[in-house]
Structure 1
Amino acid sequence: MKGDVRTRMSTEEADEDKQDDLELPFFDFATIVNATNNFSIENKLGEGGFGPVYKGIFVDGQEIAIKRLSQSSGQGLKEFRNEVILCAKLQHRNLVKVLGYCIKGKEKMLLYEYMPNKSLDLFLFESTQSKCLDWPVRFNILNAIARGLLYLHQDSRLRIIHRDLKASNILLDNDMNPKISDFGLARMCGSDQVEGSTSIIVGTHGYMAPEYAIDGLFSTKSDVFSFGVLLLEIISGKKNKAFTYLDNNHNLIDHAWTLWENGTPEKLIDACLENSCNIFEVVRCIQIILLCLQHHPNDRPNMTSVVVMLTSENALPSPKEPGFLIRRVSDEEGESSSNKHTSYSINEVTVSILNAR
């Protein structure tokens, strides 16, 4: 028995009698404890910004993943409720499906479909595992992510800005098909709204668009920038945040632009793709990436255009110099971000720290 199915959750921090319709099944705590062998270390899949994730198996054999909200997470309840509400409304083959939630006392959990190959970063940035990702697999992954993001921005019931798109938030099923996960930081917008602003900047440095990292301005175009960084990592097999070139403190974006300007973009390609890639296709993807990474949001394509560019051979516009995120944030943060709260990411885990710079 998987526990009673309900569609309401009480908010302990507010009026105990107040109930919110969340449109997701409720699972009782005892069922989850049994499925995870009391959250044993052997069943732990990883650690996210708001708590650990465990594998569970129901008595009928169904495998699940459970995100257990850390009790010490300062903003955890808000992000948890946000994700429950969002995931009840989102259904797409390239989004991780949420099966339900559990709340008992201070315990708050989300139940997801189990993704046996875990996250994309575990393949991309590990020398042995990266060899499993030949070019056809990577090209399928980047196209599927693009379609998932297009759904969020345009085709879902509400326009969704993810705000934390990165390799560790792309999960892979048994056939290496990708699904976007972790909507704790996402924002819902009206159907005619494409941007917003915040004084609390959350996300992962290395993937943030300049206008968001510096001024707190987020939009569908800031997601496009993050998508460009993600594609850059998929093609190169290197992390944007960790990459430095010739001791000049240039990040991967800077390096890609330098190669493009020098007419040698193929030097960006992961060495393990040498025997499987279509050079024309990869170089075209690099050009699309640079268009996504333009410094000014209006210069970036929307995801509709990106999907078309990825699936056609039409001529592409020439990119301008992209936003060199790490360098410019370092140079400008003293003036531009003095009144902003900022989140920092340690080891690619999203962590919100409410300290003004």
Structure 2
Amino acid sequence: MELFPVLHELSERASRYSVNLNGRVSRTLGRNPLRGGTACVYHGTLKPEGTEVAIKTFYCTRSGSEADLKSFPFKRLFREVHTWSKLRHENIVPMLGISTEFDSTFSIVSDWMPMGDARTYVQNAENDPRPLLRDITNGLYYLHSHELGPVVHGDLKGPNVLVSNDHRALLSDFGLSTLNVSTFNMTTEATRGGSLPWMAPELLNDFVASKESDMWAYGMTILELFTRSTPFHDCRSDASVVRRIAEGSLPARPAEESTQFRLSDAWWEICISCWRSDPSSRPTITDVVEKLEATTVCTLSSH
């Protein structure tokens, strides 16, 4: 099938930053994809190695017009390819390449993570969230101190953290991420980003995502993994969540039994500090690393 003009242009642009895997990736038949707001994630195999891969296939329009390249879905796609392709770290899901062979649209190919996401993983109470939080901290430290300039994740939460075969946490889903130093041949507008229960209050007022809003989400992710529940899970509607965040009505410290007695004072103090209403008063991820090392909650290494 001949590519739509916009898809061909998209492929050419994205191929500047990633390996084109056309002809080397096959999707697994009979296995239902995971469906999200912007893409489906299929299981597949990379040839000739036989490596298991995830194929993130985007929902894209098929009009083939030049205007499509300027639409938000495509800008988000460009941002994801551009940013993700520059990330190399043990706590970041590796991006292997791109493909334009599926569903007349565009796909990003990455390592398959058989253990699923962090939220699902900790539903088994025997799985201690603290090693995952160590890995998340290391991954976020890498992003915020990237050599090309700080990378803002923009949508940090348990479902966007995947767990590898050896039980490491790896950050994923960089569709809302921004790399401050951009060499991509297209302007990508900043976006506020985020998912509501993890969203910093300034993002409700159309501020753009920042390292500071990442830290707010990091605090909510700590709470999420210790409690195995979405932040503000007691709210019955999005409007209630928005009201709680806007009013500064923060989550209460959960009962020790609900966290398997794992949520120490040190971890809870980190949560509270990440939820300060003034973004400039929140700790940096470097501050958190130093605090955790000082309190011997866990040993963190920077890469």
Band the TM-score falls in, shorter-chain normalisation? 0.7 to 0.9
Task: Please identify the structure whose Cα radius of gyration is greater.
Answer: 1
Cα distance in 2 between the residues matched to 1:187 and 1:88: 12
- Number of residues of Structure 1 aligned to a counterpart in Structure 2: 270
Q: 1:171 to 1:210 in 2, by over 3 A?
A: same
Q: Contact between 2:178 and 2:190, CA under 8 Å: does it hold in 1?
A: no
Q: How does 1:173-188 map to 2 (within 5 A)?
A: 173-188=164-179
State, as a whole percentage, how many aligned pairs show the same letter: 25
Which residue pairs with 1:339 in the alignment?
A: none
Q: How does 1:214-253 map to 2 (within 5 A)?
A: 214-244=205-235
Alpha-carbon shift at residue 42 of structure 1 (Å): 1.3
Q: 1:272 to 1:24 in 2, by over 3 A?
A: same
Give the aligned residue type for 1:81: F
Cα distance in 2 between the residues matched to 1:255 and 1:16: 46
Q: 1:18 to 1:112 in 2, by over 3 A?
A: closer
Which residue pairs with 1:140 in the alignment?
A: 131
Cα distance in 1 between the residues matched to 2:213 and 2:46: 39
Q: Contact between 2:139 and 2:170, CA under 8 Å: does it hold in 1?
A: yes
Give the aligned residue type for 1:148: G
Q: 1:117 to 1:16 in 2, by over 3 A?
A: closer
Which residue pairs with 1:4 in the alignment?
A: none
Cα distance in 2 between the residues matched to 1:238 and 1:18: 39
Q: Contact between 1:172 and 1:179, CA under 8 Å: does it hold in 2?
A: yes
The answer to whether structure 1 residue 271 and structure 2 residue 258 are counterparts is yes
Alpha-carbon shift at residue 132 of structure 1 (Å): 3.2
1:272-327: CA deviations, max 9, x gaps? 614xx3x6xx221001110011111011011100111122229xxxxxxxxxxxxx
Which residue pairs with 1:113 in the alignment?
A: 111
The answer to whether structure 1 residue 209 and structure 2 residue 200 are counterparts is yes
The answer to whether structure 1 residue 85 and structure 2 residue 74 are counterparts is no
Give the aligned residue type for 1:163: G
SS at match of 1:81: helix
2:58 corresponds, among 69, 84, 90, to 69
Give the aligned residue type for 1:310: L
- TM-score of the pair, normalised by structure 1: 0.67
Q: 1:14 to 1:111 in 2, by over 3 A?
A: closer
Which residue pairs with 1:341 in the alignment?
A: none
1:85-117: CA deviations, max 9, x gaps? 112211011110000001258410000011110
1:310 corresponds, among 261, 270, 292, to 292
Give the aligned residue type for 1:308: E
Q: 1:69 to 1:286 in 2, by over 3 A?
A: same
Q: 1:96 to 1:255 in 2, by over 3 A?
A: same
Cα distance in 1 between the residues matched to 2:7 and 2:56: 23
Runs of 5+ unmatched residues, structure 1: 1-9, 192-197, 258-264, 315-357
Cα distance in 2 between the residues matched to 1:17 and 1:107: 10
Q: How does 1:1-357 map to 2 (within 5 A)?
A: 12-13=5-6, 19-20=12-13, 22-28=16-22, 30-32=23-25, 35-37=26-28, 40-44=29-33, 46-59=34-47, 60-71=49-60, 75-104=72-101, 106-124=104-122, 129-134=123-128, 138-190=129-181, 201-244=192-235, 254=249, 256-257=251-252, 265=253, 267-269=254-256, 271=258, 273-274=260-261, 277=262, 282-313=264-295
Cα distance in 1 between the residues matched to 2:89 and 2:181: 19
Cα distance in 1 between the residues matched to 2:93 and 2:99: 18
Q: Contact between 2:53 and 2:110, CA under 8 Å: does it hold in 1?
A: yes
- TM-score of the pair, normalised by structure 2: 0.78
Cα distance in 2 between the residues matched to 1:295 and 1:50: 30
